[in-house]
Amino acid sequence: MRSDVALTRTMALLRKLVGLLAIATLVSCRNAAAPQPAPDSGTAAQPAPAPAPDPAELESRACAKRIDELRAEPAQPGAPEFDKQRQHVLGRARGEPMVFIREPARVAADSIPDKIRSSFDLLLKGPPGGRIVQVAKRHERAAATLRQLMLRDGYVYSPDPHDALALVNTLRIADLFDEPEIWLMRRAATVRLMRSPASGAKCTVATCPPSMIEYRYAEGPRQGRAVDLLFGDRFALTEAELAQPLHRDLRAVAAEHGFARARIVHATDRALVVDLRYGEKWFPAILDSKGAALTLSCISADAPGREALQAWKRANASRIEANLRIERALDEQLDEALRFDRPEGVKHAELDGKMRPVWYDAYRRKQPYFSYDDVSYPVWDAKGRAWPPQVCVDLVLDTFERASGTWFTSKPDEPKRVVGGLDFDAYGIPNRRAVLAFELFAKSKPDLFETTRFQGAERIPFSERAKFFDYLVEHADEFHPADVVAIQGRKKDGLIHQHAILIESLDPITGFAYGLADQMKRPRRRTWEGIMAEAPLRSLLYRVHPTDRVFEAIVGKASGKAEPVQATSGL
C-alpha cells in the first residue's frame, strides 16, 4: 500500500517536471529568430528610398513662392517720370541712382500762403532750370520758405533734368535751413549735421551771413567736414521725420553682390521683387527693405541656373572686391584733398605734372616743404599724411595702387613708398602723367588692360547732351566700374586738351556710367556735366578696361594679404 502511494507521488512529480520542461522549451523557441522565407521569384523588388531634397532647390522653391505672395500685394507706383529721365538727371546732377517706391511730392497747393503763391506757380509753370534759380534768389534769406517751395517730402528732387541740375548747383544746405541742428538721409544712412561758420570765416554762427555758413557732420568718421547738397538727399529737423523713406538704396546692394542690372518687377513697402542680371543671365529675386537699405533675400533659379550663377560669382569675386577697395581709395584721396599738379598762378597746362618729382625728393629727405619756381608747397598735410601733387592720370593710377596697398607712409613713420599688390612702376610704365601716354602703355600690356578707341559717330560732343547720354545707355554693356575713359576736344584757349576720368559706379537700372572721379584742382566725384560743361566740344576719346589680373592684384588674391571690404555708406 505504501509502495503504491510512493509510486503515485513519484509519477506526479515526474509529470510536473515534464510540464516545466515543455514550458521552457516553448519560451526558448518563441525567442529564437524565425527563419526567413525564400524570396518569391514572382514578387517585384521594393523601390529604394527617395533621396533627400536638395536644400538649394528647396530654397529656390520657397523664393518663388514668396515672389508670388509679394506680387499679390498692392504695388507702390514708383516714380515713372524720373525713371524715364534717369540718365539725363544722373548725367547732370550729382547724386545717387535711387529707386523710388513713390515719387516725392510737393507741398499741397492749398497749404501755400498767398504771399508766396507766385513763387509756387513759377515752379509749376516756369522754364525748367531757370525757375529754380529765380525762386532761390527771390527767397534767399527765408530758409523755411525756400525749403517749403523747393523740397519734396524733404527730398532734393525733380524728375526734370534741368531742374535737378539747378537744385544742386544753386542751393546750399544753409539756404534751406537756419536751425543749429538738422538731419540728413543719404542713400541708407542717417546723420546729424551742425550749423557752423565756413572754413576761414572770421565770424560766428550768430554773425555770419548765410553765404558764410555751412553744415558739418556732427559725428562719425567725417566729423567736422562740410556737407555738400546732392540730388536725392533728404533733410528734416528731427531724425524721426526720416523714418519712412520713399527711396531705396539699390547701389549698395549691387556693389556688394555684383549684379550688373536690376529690373523692378513689383515694389512694396517691405520688399522689391526684381530681376537681377549676372553676366548675361537674368534671375528672379527679392530685395528686402529696412528703411532705405536693401538686402538680397533670395534668388529663384533652377539647377542649371544656380550652377551658372555660382560659376559667375567665382569668376568675378576679385572684381567685386576690388571695386569696393577702389571706392575706399577714392574716399581717402577726397579726404586728403590732394592738390592738382600745376604751379600757383599758372593758367596753362604746359607745366602740369612737373611738381611731383620735386615733391618726392623733398619727401624722401623729410623736408616739410618743397619749392617750385620760388613758391613753397607743403610735403605733408596738417595730419602728417603724404601730400603729393596729382594730375588726372595720377588719380587713376594712384587709386588702383592705393586700393592694393601701395602708397606713401605718413608721419611719424620713415618716409617711403610701400608697395602692395600692384605697382605700375614694376611694369616699366614710361610716363605716368600723360593721358595719351597712358593709352599707349595700356595697349602694350594686354595682360593688364583692354583698350578701345571711339571713332566717327561715337565721338559725340558733349554739347549734344541728350544724344551723349543716350549713347552711354545704348552702349552700357561696354562701360564698367574701374574703367578709365579719356575725353578730348577744344577748350576756351583754342587748344585741344585730353582729360582722364575714372568710372566708379553705374546706375543699376540703366547701366548708365554716372559715378565719375577725376582730378582737377583736387580729387572729386563729379558728373559728366560737372566735368565737361566748361568745354562742351569735347567727346569720348578712349576707354581702358582693367583685366582680371589687375583686380586680383588689388585684392591680393595670390598672396592672401587682403581683408574683405564693406561697401561705404556714401556719406
* Chain segment 114-171, per-residue pLDDT in tens: 999 999 999 999 999 999 999 999 999 999 999 999 999 999 999 999 999 999 999 9
- Using pLDDT thresholds of 50, 70 and 90, give the confidence band for residue 24: very low
* Chain segment 462-473, per-residue pLDDT in tens: 999 999 999 999
pLDDT surpasses 80 at 332: yes
**Residue 44 has what pLDDT?**
57
**Residue 420 has what pLDDT?**
97
Express as a percent the part of the chain with pLDDT over 70: 89
Q: CA 87, 92, 94, 100: dihedral to nearest 10 degrees?
A: -40
Neighbours of 282 (CB within 10 A): 17
DSSP reduced 3-state for 369: strand
pLDDT surpasses 50 at 92: yes
**Eight-class DSSP state of 390:** B
* Chain segment 472-524, per-residue pLDDT in tens: 999 999 999 999 999 999 999 899 999 999 999 999 999 999 999 999 999 99
Taking the C-alpha atoms of residue 94 and residue 373, their distance in angstroms, rounded to an integer, is 37
**E-state strands within 359-483:** 369-372, 375-378, 407-408, 417-418, 449-453
Taking the C-alpha atoms of residue 281 and residue 256, their distance in angstroms, rounded to an integer, is 18
Got the DSSP string for 199-255?
TT-SS-TTTS-GGGEEEEE-SSTTTT-B----BT-EEESSGGGGSS-SEE-HHHHHH
**Residue 155 has what pLDDT?**
99
44 vs 536, more confident: 536
- Using pLDDT thresholds of 50, 70 and 90, give the confidence band for residue 557: low
Biggest alpha carbon–alpha carbon distance for the chain: 155
**Residue 53 has what pLDDT?**
79
- Using pLDDT thresholds of 50, 70 and 90, give the confidence band for residue 338: very high
**Residue 209 has what pLDDT?**
87
| Lowest mean pLDDT, pick from 243-252, 297-306, 555-564 | 555-564
* Chain segment 436-451, per-residue pLDDT in tens: 999 999 999 999 999 9
**Residue 568 has what pLDDT?**
46
Backbone angles phi, psi at 231, to 5 degrees: -60, 135
**Residue 564 has what pLDDT?**
41
pLDDT surpasses 60 at 7: no
54 vs 332, more confident: 332
Taking the C-alpha atoms of residue 16 and residue 535, their distance in angstroms, rounded to an integer, is 124
Pairing of strands 213-217, 281-290: unpaired
Question: What is the amino acid identity at position 100?
Answer: F
**Residue 380 has what pLDDT?**
98
**Eight-class DSSP state of 38:** P
Helices (H), 32-151: 55-71, 80-84, 86-90, 117-125, 130-138, 143-150
The average pLDDT across 319-343 equals 97
C-beta separation of 243 from 190 below 8 A: no
* Chain segment 259-289, per-residue pLDDT in tens: 999 999 999 999 999 999 999 999 999 999 9
**Residue 48 has what pLDDT?**
72
| Lowest mean pLDDT, pick from 8-12, 386-390, 549-553 | 8-12
Q: Any residues with CB less than 8 A from the CB of 284 and at least 6 apart, and which? A: 63, 64, 67, 265, 273, 274, 275, 299, 300, 301
**Eight-class DSSP state of 48:** P
- Using pLDDT thresholds of 50, 70 and 90, give the confidence band for residue 567: very low
Q: Domain locations in the chain?
A: 57-75+249-301, 104-242, 334-555
Q: Give the cell for residue 141.
A: 534769406
Output 197-201 pairs: Cβ under 8 A, ≥24 positions apart: 198/226, 199/226
**Residue 339 has what pLDDT?**
97
Taking the C-alpha atoms of residue 293 and residue 177, their distance in angstroms, rounded to an integer, is 26
pLDDT surpasses 90 at 177: yes
- Using pLDDT thresholds of 50, 70 and 90, give the confidence band for residue 210: confident
- Average pLDDT of the residues of the chain: 91
